[in-house]
Structure 1
Amino acid sequence: MIFKSKYPDVTIPQVGIYQYVISNPKKISDDKVIYVDGITGKSITYGEFKHESKKFAAGLQDKLDFKRGDVLAIFSPNQVDYPIVLLGAIAAGGKVTTANPKYKVTELSYQLIDSGASVLIAHPDFLEVAIEASIEAKIPTSRVLLFGDEEIEEYKPYRSILINDREIEPVSYTPEEAKTTTAYLPYSSGTIGKQKGVEITHTNIAVNLAQLASADCKLGPHSIIMGILPFFHIYALTALIHAPLTHGATAVILSSFNVKTFCESIQKYKINHIYAVPPIILKLIDDPLVQEFDLSSVNKIISAAAPLSDKLEKKFYEMFKIQIYQAYGLTETSPLLLHSDTTKDAVPGSIGILAPNLKAKILSEDGHELGYNEPGELWVHGPNVMKGYLNNKEATANVIDKDGFLNTGDIGFQVAPAELEAVLLTHDAVSDAAVIGYYYEEEATEIPIAYVSIKSGYEQSQALAREIQSFVDGKVAQHKKLRGGILFIDRIPKSESGKILRRLLREKLKNDRMN
């Protein structure tokens, strides 16, 4: 059975994403502050954004010979001028790949090479990794530029090179070009395998903004949004960079999370709209410092990227009397799919209903369509579904069927099991390995845990488990570390075709933890 959204379809935008975000249906004044640094107070108005992004685009063309279809990479935590770089590259006709600033050299160089990036804009605090990765990716020093105002060694601030007086008329697209032209290349594990470039088109992101507006209709020039989620992630890319421009809202940008700065910003800027993830909710509940601040300006929190337990949602409301709504999506859907019903009959804490223009089906393990209240795998269809995985037709075919339905797989801060398994298999003691996600109540999120079989000549011990865990953790970014630890198993369960039966491992883990 095919399920359809109960909402009427939104009109699918017929323009490129730059034209869409500055179309200004709400008649926003050029003086309206759109982005503000929550620490320094440095701000960018709507008018400044338009001028600076078009100057950045001109600089790319004039100084770096950046052409339509070229790829610019951003390697930085949240910055007040991150949107200028992001959408400036789009205005120049380029694509943008956004990288996690916590990546190690091998992870960043892989993304730079795989995406075909020819320009890298990096934060000075992460320059050492950026330099090594850019060398591996054969990006010349002259095309590696910095946020900020300081020149470090031979690496110059992008403003000193690219921002001059000339502004360009942003590259435009026909409706068909907007539908097929890639704008963003965030990286995702998908449901299996190594990180893959997700081709998000101009139409994908524009229509998802329209879907978000329908779901979150209270956004407007009065909205002051907390900008804490990492900009490289599709959730923040949509909700914190693009949505403020389309709604005339103000985003208060923080580069990292700590309870004191977070609460100070709410109190200082009277933030009323927060996009969050479950670990943030947990920290606000657990830290007594929160009680010292006035959070009364907040009238809505939307939690996404991982499930928020009903227990945490209820406890938060009891403490702060602030309603939390949940949303669900993934990188491959730009990202919004489901959101809490915001009507008076809504059930707080529930994931809710399909966003406009979407259809869904639930399939059993053997591929049969299921009906209401029958557990199975969620497949979705809509104009916000990605174009595909970059240069990977096989992976695309594995997740998008002949009717255009996408297999959603897992949600969250995605960790590719196969990527960690490949690292595990390079350890001398490991003969086979399988990684699964385990919901960890203390962190209010899923964490990776590994089952390993060891070679003859080695003995199962806590010391060996710690050694293997440390070996892997030294080679991957923070969110990929095996925080659930290493568990030994005599044989990894697999199907006749050799596919790891992760469901059996999850059941085993659940049973072992209960006993």
Structure 2
Amino acid sequence: MIFKSRFPDIEIPKIGVYQYITSNPSGIDDEKLIFVDAITNKKLPFGEFKRDTKRFAAGLIHKVGFKRGDVLAIFSLNHLDYSTVVFGAIAAGGKVTPINPSYKVNEFTHQLKDSDASVIIVNPLLLSIAIEGAAAANFPKTKIFLFGEEEINGIQPFWSFISDQEIIPVEFTPEEAKSTTAYLCYSSGTTGKNKGVETTHTNIVSNLAQLSAFEKGFTNQTSLIGFLPFFHMYGLIFLIHLVILKGASCVILPKFELELFCRVIQDYKVNLATVVPPVVLLLVKNPIAKKYDLSSLQLAISAAAPLSKELSNDFTKIHKIPIKQAYGLTETSPITHLAMTDNIVDGSIGILLPNVECKIVSVDGQELGYNEPGEFYVRGPNGYLNNKVATDMCIDKDGWFHTGDIGFADPQVAPAELESVLIIHPLIDDAAVVGVYSNDGVTEYPAAFVVLKTNIIQSDQIKEEIKEFVSQRVADHKRLRGGVYFIDQIPKSPSGKILRRLLRDRVKHMYISKL
């Protein structure tokens, strides 16, 4: 059984990454601050970003000898100029391979050789590893450059080759965008050494378009905290690409430190935090978090590891901040699912993004249905470099990526669909549907809050009539197994949006048995 997103497919722009992220759909001014360094308070506005990337690209081509299709390696902690280097290389028609700054010499050397990088941009703190690793790979020292503005031991900063002229960024035809690699991010896969995952321009543009369509709260007014490592696809997508595309802003931390993290949120009024479960745990348990005002946060998004229901609930209860969970892999460019706010259950990976399909497959290769555990396969508009065997093992002939993760598919029920059925019932004046967690089912069931018409007396008989009315009009998994609840008025925002969280709060302590 193939599961599809509840959201309609969207049209994917058939252009390169650079053209897409600088398309400025929000119409921001060139003066809009995109990146801010949390340590130095140095700032990078949108206009300077565009200018610097095109000058960096010109310098790469004319002074360093970088050619279309060449690979640039970045070996650094998060840095204000990380985006300039990334998109300068992309503008020059090249590929980027971000290297984990925690790598030792042998790991660095492996990625450098495997990716066939021709230029290295390195953080000064990591220079000794880069020099030793480059020597082991017979990589010329003259092609190593530094972040920052100072020369160290004969190694020049990359600003030394920045051109006074701006190039016109390389553009791609729709077919070229689909087939041309933009990033070589390295993933452990399932076995052996880390493998280079080839991510094309279309892969990245697709995921950005999907996230834009799904996450409407991410706008040019969004302010993020950028501590997730930029070398990782999670940080690369959310904190660099999506920030620029949306004209948002990101306050950059070189790495995670709890007190600095909290102080930055407080001082810069950050309103969205992309996090990982260990950080959520610290925010719940560590007393340092209580010293700071985190009230500017409007949303947290957790990914990279499963977030438990208990930890999610504790976080929301303590900080009064809703949290979502995202699921993906480097190989899926990366996000395929997002769990809706206040809807996380243990191990849930949420709702499929637009244009993404999923199926659950048993050990013997049989496609499974709802609530039948097996391996997740995903397919969408989103191989391993130099490793055909590994690629063939994880991507089959029909384009399904075998994630290696085990789980099952809950029936996806759109509240609006059930609400449209309820409001045609002759006794109902208004209705809203939410999910209610069931301990027995280890999932959520649809529950209906209904406003009866004037002079209709509430009764258990009417509840059963409403359940039966819906059951006759929808598939079995959409039945109101979470129950029917009477309410005097459906809570709504001034714009008419149903405030489902208030309804969930009314039943969050009720554990529904099999009905």
TM-superposed deviation, 1:185:
0.1
Deviations 1:192-219 (A, max 9, x none): 3321100000000011001111222111
Task: Tell me which moved more, 391-400 or 230-239.
Answer: 391-400
Cα pair 2:336 2:352 within 8 Å, conserved: yes
Distance 1:348 1:80 in 2: 36
Structure 1 or 2, whichever has the larger Rg, is 2
Query: What is residue 147 of structure 1 aligned with on the other side?
Result: 147
Q: Equivalent residues in 2 for 1:259-270 (5 A)?
A: 259-270=258-269
> Aligned partner of 2:10: which letter?
V
TM-score normalized with structure 1 length: 0.77
Query: What is residue 242 of structure 1 aligned with on the other side?
Result: 241
Query: What is residue 486 of structure 1 aligned with on the other side?
Result: none
Query: What is residue 393 of structure 1 aligned with on the other side?
Result: 388
TM-superposed deviation, 1:346:
4.2
Query: What is residue 349 of structure 2 aligned with on the other side?
Result: 351
TM-superposed deviation, 1:348:
7.0
TM-superposed deviation, 1:291:
1.2
Distance 1:295 1:308 in 2: 20
Look up the SS of the partner of 1:117 in the other structure: coil
Distance 1:182 1:154 in 2: 32
Task: Tell me which moved more, 133-142 or 367-376.
Answer: 133-142
Distance 2:104 2:184 in 1: 19
Query: What is residue 363 of structure 1 aligned with on the other side?
Result: 361
Distance 1:235 1:410 in 2: 18
What 5-or-longer segments of structure 2 have no aligned partner?
407-515
Q: Which has the higher contact order (CA 8 A, sep 6+)?
A: 1
Look up the SS of the partner of 1:120 in the other structure: strand
Cα pair 1:183 1:202 within 8 Å, conserved: yes
TM-superposed deviation, 1:139:
1.9
Over aligned residues, Cα RMSD in angstroms? 1.3
Distance 1:249 1:348 in 2: 30
Asked if 1:230 is matched to 2:225, the reply is no
Query: What is residue 326 of structure 1 aligned with on the other side?
Result: 325
Cα pair 1:326 1:340 within 8 Å, conserved: yes
TM-superposed deviation, 1:305:
0.3
What 5-or-longer segments of structure 1 have no aligned partner?
412-515
Distance 1:409 1:72 in 2: 30
Cα pair 1:263 1:295 within 8 Å, conserved: yes
> Aligned partner of 2:401: which letter?
L
> Aligned partner of 2:375: which letter?
E
Query: What is residue 183 of structure 1 aligned with on the other side?
Result: 182
Number of matched pairs = 405
Asked if 1:135 is matched to 2:147, the reply is no
Deviations 1:134-190 (A, max 9, x none): 112222111100001111111111102x21211100000000000000000000012
Query: What is residue 194 of structure 1 aligned with on the other side?
Result: 193
Distance 2:215 2:97 in 1: 27
TM-superposed deviation, 1:341:
2.6
Deviations 1:247-267 (A, max 9, x none): 010011001111110011001
Q: Which residue of the other structure, out of 376, 379, 383, is the alignment partner of 2:377?
A: 379
Query: What is residue 405 of structure 1 aligned with on the other side?
Result: 400
TM-superposed deviation, 1:302:
0.3
Cα pair 2:360 2:373 within 8 Å, conserved: yes
TM-superposed deviation, 1:313:
1.1
Distance 1:409 1:97 in 2: 24
Look up the SS of the partner of 2:236 in the other structure: helix
Cα pair 2:224 2:251 within 8 Å, conserved: yes
Look up the SS of the partner of 1:252 in the other structure: strand
Distance 1:374 1:226 in 2: 38
Cα pair 2:375 2:405 within 8 Å, conserved: no
Distance 1:76 1:167 in 2: 25
TM-superposed deviation, 1:284:
1.4
Query: What is residue 112 of structure 2 aligned with on the other side?
Result: 112
Cα pair 2:325 2:344 within 8 Å, conserved: no
Distance 2:45 2:350 in 1: 35
Query: What is residue 457 of structure 1 aligned with on the other side?
Result: none
Look up the SS of the partner of 2:376 in the other structure: strand
Q: Which runs of 4+ in 1 moved over 3 A?
A: 345-350
Look up the SS of the partner of 2:296 in the other structure: coil
Deviations 1:219-271 (A, max 9, x none): 11110011110000000110000001110100110011111100110011100
TM-superposed deviation, 1:351:
2.3
Cα pair 2:181 2:199 within 8 Å, conserved: yes
TM-superposed deviation, 1:39:
1.6
Look up the SS of the partner of 1:409 in the other structure: strand
Distance 1:175 1:64 in 2: 29
Look up the SS of the partner of 2:404 in the other structure: coil
Look up the SS of the partner of 1:155 in the other structure: coil
Distance 1:335 1:314 in 2: 26
Task: Tell me which moved more, 14-23 or 129-138.
Answer: 129-138
Deviations 1:394-447 (A, max 9, x none): 111111111100001259xxxxxxxxxxxxxxxxxxxxxxxxxxxxxxxxxxxx
Percent identity reads 57
> Aligned partner of 2:398: which letter?
D
Cα pair 1:225 1:273 within 8 Å, conserved: yes
Distance 1:341 1:286 in 2: 24
Query: What is residue 257 of structure 1 aligned with on the other side?
Result: 256
Distance 1:348 1:11 in 2: 31
Deviations 1:110-132 (A, max 9, x none): 00000000100000001110001
